[in-house]
Amino acid sequence: MPELPEVETTRRGIAPHVEGREIVEVIVRQGRLRVPVPEDFIDRLVGSRIGNLTRRAKYLLLPIESGQPAGSLIWHLGMSGSLRIARLGELPKKHDHIDLVFDDGGLLRYHDPRRFGFVDWLAGGVEQDPRLARLGPEPLSGAFDGERLYRLSRGRRMAVKPFLMDNAVVVGVGNIYAAEALFLAGIDPRRSAGRISLERYEWLAAAVREVLAAAITQGGTTLRDFVSGTGEPGYFKQRLNVYGRHGQACRRCGGELRLVTLGQRASVFCIECQH
């Protein structure tokens, strides 16, 4: 599943090609996504112009600056979705479900083999939408720090890894990056969230920011389907310390990496380096 770095990589890749562009045609080849494409999707968009793209958690927001009524597209890539820039005349591939065609001959093409993603119309403000209203802070913002993790974890008996992956605590820290941040911070993912000190949560918050910033710089992590908005794969997979490496040697101590299941998700860690 594309996580925050992959979605941010997509936003940065497509933004220069779509911001300020007028939509002259909309092609919907398959509208039966996780959320069905709205019936008035084409009528709302043709003749409209796209504003500055933003991201909230794993959602991409495309403001529509003209057209009635004003609003935004909210796009989620699901398990296998991707948004890519193409040119008019490029034949669509299987699972290319939606094209937004622009006035300069470029187009934004949505590809999703599993159809777990969606695009919908957001009429009100971001915080009014139930999908966005209760989300925690962005992990690279000043609102996220170790003090927040410490405060919200008090009395919590759940393991720290699923706690860190809770979108009400902080958004966008999925399975890959939670595992990597916990390794950098030296914290055992099985530890009870409520039994970790403020100092160690400060280490963990710093590790989350370091891992996510590095992943964005590297263009995300290519696991199966992900490519950026310009069709390039991500390269952060080459830097993974623990995720997907169970049974292999720890890059830090040389010990064998262990695999456990936490919150129904596979978790790899080093029993020697993480406590």
- Out of 3, 6, 138, 180, pick the active-site residue: 3
* Catalytic residue status for 180: no
Q: What is the pLDDT of residue 128?
A: 77
- Out of 11, 56, 58, 200, pick the active-site residue: 58
Q: Is 114 marked as a binding-site residue?
A: yes
- Out of 63, 65, 265, 272, pick the active-site residue: 265
| pLDDT tens digits, 250-272 | 999 999 999 999 999 999 999 99
* Catalytic residue status for 58: yes
| pLDDT tens digits, 183-239 | 999 999 999 999 999 999 999 999 999 999 998 888 755 433 434 445 554 444 557
- Out of 2, 5, 139, 162, pick the active-site residue: 2
Extents of the domains making up the chain: 4-128, 146-269
Domain 4-128: which topology? N-terminal domain of MutM-like DNA repair proteins (3.20.190)
Q: Is 156 marked as a binding-site residue?
A: yes
* Catalytic residue status for 265: yes
Q: Evaluate if residue 5 carries a pLDDT over 50.
A: yes
Q: What is the pLDDT of residue 67?
A: 59
Q: What is the pLDDT of residue 28?
A: 98
User: Are 4-128 and 146-269 in the same CATH fold?
Assistant: no
Domain 146-269: which topology? Helicase, Ruva Protein; domain 3 (1.10.8)
Q: Evaluate if residue 86 carries a pLDDT over 50.
A: yes
Q: Closest by alpha carbon to 54, among 87, 14, 93?
A: 14
63 backbone dihedrals φ, ψ, rounded to 5°: -65, 140
Q: Report the C-alpha gap between 219 and 213 in whole angstroms.
A: 10
192 backbone dihedrals φ, ψ, rounded to 5°: -65, 130
| pLDDT tens digits, 51-74 | 999 999 999 999 998 755 678 999
- Residue bearing tokens 């916990």: 182
